[in-house]
Amino acid sequence: TTQNCQAFTLNKMSDGGSYTLAIKNPNSTTCSFSDTNTVGATLTVHLPPDHQATIPNKHTIYSFMVIGTDVYISWIPGI
């Protein structure tokens, strides 16, 4: 997406699934993620401890891995 980072809602993620989100925007903003409408149970979101704002005009790649009722997020900023 070329949207600025914002509060994204994770919808319909399934146990065992993996997902990717690529962001490139002209601003430095911080993404946040929450879950309100999953398949089965509500997920607990786990962001890496070094998560921070994106780098302007660079790509940031987010990877999501769902295990049970947890979604683990990793990121690669500044590509």
Mean pLDDT of the region 23-48: 84
Indicate the burial class of 20 (C-beta count within 10 angstroms; 0-12, 13-18, 19 or more).
Answer: exposed
Name the band, by pLDDT with cuts 50, 70 and 90, for residue 60: very high
Cβ neighbors of 78 (< 8 A, separation 6 or more) are: 55, 58, 59, 60
pTM (two decimals): 0.87
Please compute the mean of the pLDDT values over residues 20-46 and round it to a whole number.
84
On average, the pLDDT of the chain sits at 89
Q: What is the pLDDT of residue 40?
A: 64
Distance (Å, rounded) from C-alpha 48 to C-alpha 33?
Answer: 12
pLDDT of residue 12: 83
- Cα(65)–Cα(79) distance, rounded to whole angstroms? 21
Higher pLDDT among residues 31 and 12, named by residue: 31
